[in-house]
Structure 1
Amino acid sequence: MATLLHIDSSVFPGEASSTRSVADAFRATWEERHPQGTVIYRDLAAHPVPHITADAWSAGYAAAAERTPAQSAAFALRVELMEELERADAVLIGAPMYNFSIPSTLKAWLDNVLLLGRTAGETPSVEGTPTVVVASRGGSYTPGTPREGYEFVQNYLEAVLGGTMGLDVDFIVPELTMAGRNPALSALVPLYEASRERAFGEAVGRAKELAERFAA
């Protein structure tokens, strides 16, 4: 049966997070179609992985017999995280925009799983794995908007996940999530509601599409 790797990074729990809510809709649809499947779940806000260290980084480029005890200990978690990614038939990542970029916990996970010569480079071990990223943001950063140039979530993740690791990346973008909280954005509430509805529809549709792909 198919395996889904689900990564959450929003600091807000449950329905308070647009990212988690949309990602949960994807996961629920996936699980309905793969009741005997496996979901590997990591909540990076509740249980963050360590930021990369010199030992963890250098161990990736040293032969196992030549690693120091400190390198071996630090590299063990990296191996666990990489193996989770390599086992996945599909990947679901919640990546809200915080201060124009991704949460530091998600960056730490990426630093741990990205290893040239294994999960990245010319023949990455995870190449082609379908990956859905739910990238919510409080405002709008689409082309033509005033803050178009401040969009560093999709650009960055496309470069890392797609360009470097070879994952097949698709984005779902619920935007204007601050419209209901910020009086200055109150006129944009209808656009936020439309964006949210569209995001849920895309999440369910994409989950169905991928589930059917792995049903055989």
Structure 2
Amino acid sequence: MSTIFRLDSSIRAVGSQSRAVASTLEDAVREQVGQLDVIRRDVGVFPLPATAWAFATQALALGVHSAPKARGERTADETTAMALATDLADEMLAADAYLFAVPLYNYGVSQHAKAWIDLLITEPRFSVKVPSPIAGRPAYLVVARGGAYGPGTPREGWDHATPWLRRIFEDVWGLNLTLIEVELTLADVNPEMASLRDLAAASLGQAHAAARHAGEQLAKQWMASPAHASTPA
């Protein structure tokens, strides 16, 4: 059975377009392959503890004799944080592909997604100092933005999240990343953006079409692989 790891980071459980587009991709894969195992980590609705990264970092600090801290030197909070980092790493390693749904908040990365990435990087297997254990695996980044940030728009260059996320997913972890973008998601609820609603609808439609196509292509790739062919449907 093929496995997808899915990360959701929208603070909205209902009405989130990043979630909706990600679900289109997930459903497209499932329709083709039948059985699909999805490992879900919803940091938008169920955030990681805000202190976890700091405690995990402290757990990796130097202890006595200028050597890395032994397990017995770690505090209870540090031990808990490192255990959570291990869980996050295990989830990633158990997947064959990755689906990240990350909205743009205040021109930057969702704090919930950032906390997840920061904590995961403290785990030795996902450290920036070692080769990525998931390099080459397919991944999909669904980005939802309330406004427009493309070339020629008033806020061109204000999206400080997507380039950073690509740096982590592509350059640090070596994933084979496909970017799926939807913009103007606030047009339906912001009267000042009423004139942009047709453009918003077109952007959303294109994102769902791109997600469906990506899901179908991933499914075809899996169906053609000997490993999948030997797995009962």
Superposition TM-score, scaled by structure 1 size: 0.91
Alignment gaps of 5+ in structure 1: none
- Structure 1 counterpart of 2:229: none
What SS is found at the alignment partner of 2:90? helix
> Larger radius of gyration, structure 1 or 2?
2
What SS is found at the alignment partner of 2:38? strand
Q: Does 1:135 align with 2:143?
A: yes
What SS is found at the alignment partner of 1:149? coil
1:122 is displaced (CA, Å) by 4.8
Structure whose residues are more often strand by fraction: 2
Q: Distance in 1 between matches of 2:175 and 2:73?
A: 29
Q: Does 1:164 align with 2:163?
A: no
Q: Distance in 2 between matches of 1:116 and 1:77?
A: 9
Would the alpha carbon gap of residues 162 and 47 (structure 1) be closer, same or farther in structure 2, given more than 3 Å must change? same
What SS is found at the alignment partner of 1:96? strand
Q: CA-to-partner distance for each residue in 1:34-85, whole Å, 9 max, x for gaps?
A: 3323110111122111233433124357476565253332201100101111
Q: Distance in 2 between matches of 1:137 and 1:47?
A: 21
Q: Distance in 2 between matches of 1:185 and 1:46?
A: 27
Would the alpha carbon gap of residues 30 and 142 (structure 1) be closer, same or farther in structure 2, given more than 3 Å must change? same
Alignment gaps of 5+ in structure 2: 62-67, 226-233
- Structure 2 counterpart of 1:105: 112
The one-letter amino acid of 1:19's match is: S
The one-letter amino acid of 2:24's match is: A
Q: Distance in 2 between matches of 1:60 and 1:84?
A: 21
Q: Does 1:77 align with 2:84?
A: yes
- Structure 1 counterpart of 2:159: 151
The one-letter amino acid of 1:94's match is: A
What SS is found at the alignment partner of 2:56? helix
Q: Distance in 2 between matches of 1:143 and 1:117?
A: 39
What SS is found at the alignment partner of 1:212? helix
Q: Distance in 1 between matches of 2:129 and 2:101?
A: 24
RMSD (CA atoms): 1.9
Superposition TM-score, scaled by structure 2 size: 0.85
